Structure 1
Amino acid sequence: MTLKYARGPVSYLYRDVEKNGKTSRRKVKQVLWGDWIDVRDPIDATWAHVRYGKKPYLMKRAELQDERVLELIFLDIGQGDACILTEPGHHHPPRVMVIDAGIGRNTNGFLNWRFRDFDNSGQIHAAIVTHPDADHYRGFQPIFENRRLRIDHVYHSGLVERVGDDLLGPEQGGYLSDIVASDAQLRPLLADPARRGRKLYPKLMQTALETDRIGPVTALTTTHAVQENGRAWLPGFAPADGGLITIEVLGPVVEPDAAGQPRLRAFGDRPTSRSMDEGKTKNGHSVLLRLDFNGFRVLFGGDLNTSAECFLMQHYGGVPVSAPLAASAAELAAIARPEAIAAAGERFGVDLMKICHHGSSDVTEEFLQAAHAAAYVVSSGDEEGHVHPRPDLLGLLGKMGAGARPLLLSTELLRSTRERERDDLRPTLDRLNGRIEAELARGAAADATALKEMRAAKRKLLDEVFRRNVGVYGAINLRTDGRDAVIAFRKEKAPAHRRWFYYEMRRDPDSGGFLPVLGDGH
């Protein structure tokens, strides 16, 4: 067995098919750039026997490569966020990170599939819980309980929900000071059942602490990170670590008090609000990450909101930072100055942005100008009352994005569902049940072969009647070697050898950023 990877943007798996006494080699499955291919043995200079998953195929040797690309999969988990990151390069096994996990079991199911060919367990380098909102963290519960998975490190925002009047800890003077940075601080907080209550976030953190397959559980903020060249970095992904990718920590932004103790400011419903809004505060202090791979940059925006974005634009834009819960119109106007947007763009400017808060319109134009991405990913779901993604937000992204035609990709919009269940099959099912009952009524004279065939037909009908309504999930794949990039998703209805629709992105010589190749996609 030799592990190689499919060349991009797409490659093909073949099988020899016999028809009318003749054998022809046909494409049977399309694979995406960077997909893992188990190469067994060469056939000749052109072809090789391979396995994809557990199934055997033939593949052109020219469509295989040794280099592992950066892989990001924004999972379609309904309402919520979940991203699986696999680092590029030759490190084996590759470091895999899970950035949020949605609200249900979809992410856990995907990880089981991802590690399906490993005998013992799958190794996850880091689980990053960006903030304590259920549609970001609850999907980690089955992951933490999954005995097939081992997790080296769990990171969180430092704000831990608890029972009581102070959901996020005491607030004084517009700041939250109970920043839970380490295992040593988290354990006594969760040891008190009265503080945990029946809340699900403390239960999740307690599970992580008590599970021997999971490593340290610590905060990840601009202070609780690796410090290098005046910036904060995810441990193991700082420039000095010498890896192919760097991951900078841009939030939560810690503002120490006079004694040097860490604090996080409270956010109100709006930037000029005079009282703390707990939801805006925990969302506004999402773990905010910027990944860089040879100049291809990605921003993971958590659930930021207008209040948080205004503060971040002040902090990174060189604008004097207002006191918490006391921003004036003049202070906020300063973030719209071109020099402030340019300065903030040095930290937030990216090629692909995971849009904040599932496509909510609670955003600032200035923050989107600073990011100035050429591609946007919106993770949202059906059957929710938030109206995500908001139509005005989608229009704003097109207006603020880089290039002539920015890419707006939504997991919800790319999902394919059938319009209705197959109620038309129920009369056929009823007639079949009647035939089975009539045959059984014959007792010893019943035709066993006929019964077997009818029961098989019934199972097939039931499979069709009760099959899941989602035909194709709207997961969005990014693959890049830092020189070119491909963004791909599954077609709603297509044969296996034409199942991917994709856009290519290439570096623009003028701006230095990546832009979509003009055209209709592939």
Structure 2
Amino acid sequence: MAQGWIRAYSDEYRFFKDKTYSRKDKSFFRKDFTTSFHLTANENAAVLKTLHWGDELILPDGIGSDDWTRGIVDGQEGFLKRWHVVEIGYLAKDVDDNKTPYTSRLQLSDNEYRKDLLWGDLIQITKRENDLCSVRARGWFGKLSSHLIGETALLNINFIDVGQGDGVLIRFPEGRHMLLDGGLPRANQQTGKNGADFVDWKFFFDYGHYKIQLDSMMASHCDSDHYGGLWDLVKKDPETDLELDCIDLKIGEFHHAGLSTWVDKGDTHKDGLGPKKSSHFTRLLNDRQDAISCLDPDNQDTLSGHWKSFLKDIIEELPETTFNRVGVTSESLKAGQDLPEIWPNTSDCKIKVLAPVTKNVDGQPALKDLGNSGVNKNGHSICLRLNYHNAQILLTGDLNKASMDFISEAYGDRISSFNCDVAKACHHGSHDISYKFLQHINAGATIISSGDAEGYAHPRPEVVAASAVTGHVDIDPVKDRLVTPLVYMTEIERSVSLGKVTHIKMRNFHDGNGNVNDKALLALNKAEISKASYLSTDEKEALNAIQDLNEKKAHREALEEREKTLLETMELESRQFETRSDFHFKTVHQLFTISYATKPLERSRILTKNHYGLVNVRTDGETIMCATMEEEGAGWTIHTFPARF
């Protein structure tokens, strides 16, 4: 039977119509919204329950076009208004489209825009009339044929564009969510965005919720280009966090690798990673209570650095979140035991834990010393393999050559466990890898997550090439084309659009003498500025709303004359008084260095659009789809290949 969510978009639209509001205001409206679940399809019938935005229910008949919809909540049958519930579906493959079966056009009311949906996109059906459904998808409202909507969800892996770092949001077919890493903190991001912002978009815009709900938040290891975005998600109350649109946050579990940064307390400690014995780090972080104890400076073991502050914020802001260390023991590998799983027996998708590999030292799990601090933190990253029917997806953290050699030795003849259809490349395309290990991975598609101006020259050309030559080769002889291997780079998928500044308009400028006027700063000579740049977006919209052509023409000419006079006046004053205008800005250089500079307004260019370098990987367990958005932001570039396990 169909699944339903409580949503009331029409009520939300009416409430905010003709009002000035923020997206945060929408979240508060959603959180406060309630609707009645009646015994019968009658406004005066007994109320069985009061339902809230985000509640889930079963819809035995799905969504129709009648005013009332039948539902089941906690085993109890009743009725609620159709416009207070949506039926959940997923974009199916269009079997009638031989050219683009993995995308379908959402019919928008505004013909100026187009929006192509992607196989597996979540569809919220608000009304069904014959074969045509009114839907909400990716935050857009439109129409979609009912035969394009199925009930079966895919395994959906989003390789988030976080610049230098990693960020992966996984939606499992049963609806669980795992956020694996989140990139650098916003303060160190050139775009000012990281994994926290993508997750916020996913829940607020795509799902239409006010709450972010993650079943797992996982830090593959304790480097800030992996946990920084997670920290931005948890460090503040979402209600007051101006960067987030959602106002509530729930995280079930925090998974970590165990290796942490510690206050040095004796000669046995090394590199701030804790005490060593028999060439192994013996102090690994464990559960929530252990983390709480280790925040105390008087404790035998005390956490240190930004990692400590991050964990402290999780503990203080998320009192119900459990802590769980992730790993596999070398003893179990030698004994031929099954790989450990996260959430065993709860999903058709198995989450196998492949690393870090621990060894029993004096009855405690310990991690081998692989070298310096960076080599150890990177090398002991969490490594997962997602098994979904015939598909295998490998998520590797920042494994390096030292850890790859160690893992190969620990796995022995079980090293084929790393063989996969899709792999997230180790350590952003660093040259510090084992080519033999890449041969064991033998991926059909490799995704490299890297950033701009990071100081490491990632991804290295030899690693990009190695990802291809060690990948699984599949050639279509009929079409004479390469199917796999594929190599994706978020840095390549990312792009920007630049615009040339003509002038800066200041409205209602107060000169300090009681005079309020519009002013302008010119970046070009007045003669170079086209009339097309005179009007603001609001003025263009108001102009387009005028139906009478003569009235529209007269209004346009009046606005253009006003702006022409203003620009001519400002140009004369600027020359007379030698006015100079400079941008003052800050920028991120080489990850952790923030510098400040100025640039003259004259003949400057600005970033008008940052094209997001997200790589979508989706599978039904039989077919793997890799998709990236085309630069105009509406269509998709898609590659598909069969799962081979």
TM-score by length of 1: 0.77
By how many angstroms is 1:384 displaced?
0.7
What is residue 36 of structure 1 aligned with on the other side?
122
What residue in structure 2 maps to residue 14 of structure 1?
107
Counterpart of 1:209?
315
- Give the C-alpha shift of residue 208 in structure 1: 1.5
Correspondence for 1:355: 425
For 1:324, the equivalent position in structure 2 comes to none
1:415 equivalent in structure 2: 494
Change (3 A) 1:173 1:64: same
Residues 111-160 of structure 1: CA deviation (Å, up to 9, x unaligned): 22111155552210001111011100111112123532100000111111
Match of 2:160 among 75, 78, 90: 75
Corresponding residue to 1:135 among 218, 221, 225 = 225
Specify the alignment match of 2:369 in structure 1: 266
2-side partners of 1:438 and 1:98: how far apart?
48
Max radius of gyration: which structure?
2
Give the deviation of 1:391 after TM superposition. 0.2
What's 2:349 paired with? 245
Alpha-carbon offset, residue 473 of structure 1: 0.9
* 2:63 equivalent to 1:63: no
Alpha-carbon separation, structure 2, partners of 1:113 and 1:438: 37
Report the Cα distance in structure 1 between the residues aligned to 2:222 and 2:499, rounded to whole angstroms: 36
Residues 336-392 of structure 1: per-residue CA shift (max 9 Å, x gap) = xxxxxxx411x1110000010000011111111111111000000001111100000
Match of 1:187 among 289, 292, 297: 292
Cα distance in structure 1, aligned partners of 2:338 and 2:286:
18
Aligned residues of 2:257 and 2:326 also touching (Cα < 8 A): yes
Q: Is 1:399 equivalent to 2:476 in the alignment?
A: no
Q: Deviations over 1:295-349 (max 9, x none)?
A: 200111111111100011111124xxxxxxxxxxxxxxxxxxxxxxxx411x111
Query: Which whole-Å deviations, capped at 9, do the CAs of 1:84-127 have from their partners, x for residues lacking one?
Result: 00001xx3xx1100001111242111122111155552210001
1:230 partnered with 2:311:
no
- 1:209 to partner: Cα distance: 2.0
Shift of 1:479: 1.1
CA drift of 1:255 comes to 0.7
1:500 and 2:585 equivalent? Answer: no
Is residue 4 of structure 1 aligned with residue 89 of structure 2? Answer: yes
Matched-pair contact (CA < 8 Å) for 1:436–1:454? no
Q: Flag the 1:390–1:17 CA change in 2: closer, same or farther, 3 A.
A: closer
Letter in 2 for 1:393: V
Q: Aligned match of 1:369 in 426, 439, 443? A: 439
1:63 is matched by which residue type in structure 2? L
**Kept in 2: contact 1:415–1:470 (CA 8 A):** no
Look up the equivalent residue of 1:288 and give its one-letter code: C
1:155 corresponds, among 255, 260, 281, to 255
Instruction: Call closer, same or farther: CA 1:417–1:453 in 2, change over 3 Å.
Output: closer
Is 1:103 the equivalent of 2:242?
A: no
* 3-state SS of 2:273 partner: coil
| Equivalent residues of 2:383, 2:395 under 8 A apart | yes
What is aligned with 1:519? none
Please say if 1:387 is aligned against 2:457: yes
Q: 2:415 aligns with which of 344, 351, 371?
A: 344
Are the aligned partners of 2:356 and 2:383 in contact in 1 as well (CA < 8 Å)?
Answer: yes
1:233 positional shift: 2.6
Distance 1:295 1:253, change over 3 A: same
Separation in 2, partners of 1:42, 1:458: 36
CA distance in 2, matches of 1:314, 1:378: 25
Alignment identity in percent? 27
> Structure 2 vs 1, CA of residues 466 and 36 (structure 1 numbering), >3 Å: closer, same or farther?
farther
Q: Is the 8 A contact 1:310 1:364 kept in 2?
A: yes
User: Which has the bigger relative contact order, CA under 8 A and spacing at least 6?
Assistant: 1
Rounded Cα–Cα distance in structure 2 between residues aligned with 1:445 and 1:208: 49
The answer (yes or no) to whether the contact 1:372–1:401 under 8 Å persists in 2 is yes
Provide the C-alpha distance between the structure 2 equivalents of 1:134 and 1:17, rounded to a whole number of angstroms. Answer: 43
Q: Is the 8 A contact 1:397 1:408 kept in 2?
A: yes
Report the CA distance shift for 1:441/1:387 in structure 2 as closer, same or farther (over 3 A). same
Residue 191 of structure 1 aligns to a residue in which SS?
Answer: coil
2 CA distance for matches of 1:230 and 1:161? 31
- 1:334 counterpart residue number: none
Question: What is the identity, as a one-letter code, of the residue corresponding to 1:250?
Answer: L
Q: Is the 8 A contact 2:508 2:517 kept in 1?
A: no
Q: Could you list the per-position Cα deviations for residues 209-260 of structure 1 after superposition, in whole angstroms to 9, with x for gaps in the alignment?
A: 2233541112111159x99981333331x3xx15210011111111112x42
**1:436 positional shift:** 8.3
Structure 2 counterpart of 1:483, which letter? E
List runs of 5+ in structure 2 lacking aligned partners. 1-85, 94-101, 187-193, 239-247, 475-483, 519-533, 543-562, 564-582, 584-603
1:101–1:174 CA distance, 2 compared to 1 (3 A): same
Q: Measured at CA, do residues 170 and 437 of structure 1 come closer, stay the same or move farther in structure 2, by a change above 3 Å?
A: closer
For the pair 1:174 / 2:279, whether they are aligned, the reply is yes
Helix, strand or coil: the match of 1:362? coil
- Counterpart code for 1:221: G
**2:442 and 2:471 in contact (8 A); partners too:** yes
- What SS does the aligned partner of 1:230 have? coil
Is the contact made by 2:169 and 2:180 (CA closer than 8 Å) also made in structure 1?
yes
1:406 Cα deviation after fit: 0.7
Contact 1:48 1:58 in 2 (8 A): yes
In structure 2, the CA distance between the partners of 1:358 and 1:454, relative to structure 1 (3 Å rule), is closer
Hey, what's the Cα distance between the residues in 2 that align with 1:439 and 1:264?
Answer: 66
> What's the C-alpha RMSD, in Å, of the aligned pairs?
3.4
- Secondary structure class of the residue paired with 1:263: strand
Match of 1:200 in 2: 306
Within-5 A mapping of 1:111-122: 111-116=199-204, 117-122=207-212
**DSSP 3-state at the match of 2:259:** coil
Unaligned 5+ runs, structure 1: 19-25, 269-276, 319-342, 447-451, 514-522
Secondary structure of 2:108's partner?
A: strand
Could you list the per-position Cα deviations for residues 18-69 of structure 1 after superposition, in whole angstroms to 9, with x for gaps in the alignment?
9xxxxxxx9831011111111122232x322212255431111111111011
Distance 1:285 1:466, change over 3 A: same
Give, in whole Å, the separation in 2 of the partners of 1:444 and 1:102: 45
Contact 2:629/2:636, CA 8 A, preserved across alignment: yes
Q: Which residue of 1 aligns with 2:98?
A: none
